[in-house]
Amino acid sequence: MKRIYMDHAATTPLAPEVLEAMIPYFSKRYGNPSSLHSFGREAREAVDDARTEVAALLNAEPSEIYFTSGGTESDNLAIKGIARKNKKKGRHIITTSIEHPAVLEVCKALTREGFEVTYLPVTREGLVEIGAVEEAVREDTILISVMHANNEIGTIQPLEEIGRLAGEKEIYFHTDGVQTAGKIPVDVNSLGLDAFSLSGHKLYGPKGAGALYKRKGVRIESIQQGGGHERGMRSGTENVPGIVGLGRAARIAEENMAVESERMRSLQDRMRGWVLKNIEESWLNGHPVKRLPSNLNFGFRYIEGESLLLYLDAKGVAASTGSACSSKKLAASHVLSAIGLSPVESHGSLRITLGMANTEEEVDYACRAIFDSVKRLREMSAMRPE
Ligand SMILES: *Cc1c(COP(=O)(O)O)cnc(C)c1O
């Protein structure tokens, strides 16, 4: 049976060129970038080249990029690092109710250190309203952290407006850009950002490699002490193969972005149109227009999402319900609750996230598979009236 992968928000396969670029750094180029001999210099140059490639993707300076182990660590570093370093100025943080756990749990942990956190609500489409941000700002607000695009429903936030407000009020502005880096254009300057988190494995790079952009001059303290690598921001010998892979992935993403996002958008339209037209009592979660080109999040009444996933898996289609991180818990998705879905409605959700290898034929096959699975499940469903 052929297998179709449509869960790219959970992780992506390595691009073949990325793997190729990484291989020498697992074998003959094993130097430690801190060493002064030729082995070390070779590794240092590779890390610096990757830094330039990641910076270019965000319109940042290479000196503003710090390598980490991924999105989770970048979020931890940005939020804890900025909060702790600036706590004399204030102890109030603003974020949203739909963030990834890598932000939500960090904020929760900071409340145990005496910080106060405001969680902004979102609209039915998953948008943060600028008025709500304005209202939440206090004298002692030191940081606003609003994700760029949501990993479950794909809604893209109005960062430029929020960035302008943060700039006027002299509040640091961080975004979790793990779902947007490499998928839609990001310009940290026009968005008014002070910090931006990204992760390699969400953009056809390796797992365990990520980066934090931190604007020059932003006051932050490291959360990991040691030998002072990454200019004191992130101690620990650099993951050279991972960093090289991340750099190459960033470069490829930038080169392909215009063409690839257009292609994703058209596949999204194709699937969305077909499913909503042919499957009764179905809807799309998230914003109809301001959404990632690759994200579809459907709701199906009288359906239990986990069962739908298993049916699809049996037909070779890999998708998800809620998010990969919460799929092992039975609690309703905090994102779908935040946009106002009832627990029953949110349990009938299906997230399809498209990627580089997906074709029109695969989309058509997946549509059919969803149709058949929903039909079969509804025939058996006890949730259905009559
Ligand atoms: C995947 C993801 C993360 C975590 O990144 P890792 O590299 O897996 O730690 C953080 N935020 C968002 C929005 C994500 O989708």
Confidence (pLDDT) at 386: 53
Question: For residue range 47-101, what is the model confidence (pLDDT) as tens digits?
Answer: 999 999 999 999 999 999 999 999 999 999 999 999 999 999 999 999 999 999 9
Residue 367 annotated as catalytic:
no
> Once rounded to an integer, what is the mean pLDDT over residues 345-373?
97
Please give the structure tokens belonging to residue 262: 């257009």
Question: For residue range 166-204, what is the model confidence (pLDDT) as tens digits?
Answer: 999 999 999 999 999 999 999 999 999 999 999 999 999
CATH superfamily of 4-11+257-380: Aspartate Aminotransferase, domain 1 (3.90.1150.10)
Are 57 and 250 contacting, i.e. CB atoms less than 8 angstroms apart?
Answer: yes
User: What is the model's pTM?
Assistant: 0.96
11 Cα nearest atom in ligand 1: 1
CB within 8 Å of 184: residues ≥ 6 apart: 149, 156, 257, 261, 292, 293
Q: Is the pLDDT of residue 382 over 80?
A: no
Q: How far is the CA of 280 from the centre of ligand 1 (A)?
A: 33
Domain ranges in the chain? Answer: 4-11+257-380, 16-253
Question: For residue range 246-288, what is the model confidence (pLDDT) as tens digits?
Answer: 999 999 999 999 999 999 999 999 999 999 999 999 999 999 9
Q: In the chain, what is the straight-line distance between the N-terminal and C-terminal CA atoms, in Å?
A: 37
Element (H, E) at 298: strand 295-300
282/36 Cα distance (integer angstroms): 61
* CATH class as words, domain 16-253: alpha beta
Nearest CA to ligand 1 atom 3: 71
75 Cα nearest atom in ligand 1: 10
Which one is catalytic: 165, 223, 325, 383?
A: 325
CB within 8 Å of 49: residues ≥ 6 apart: 244, 247
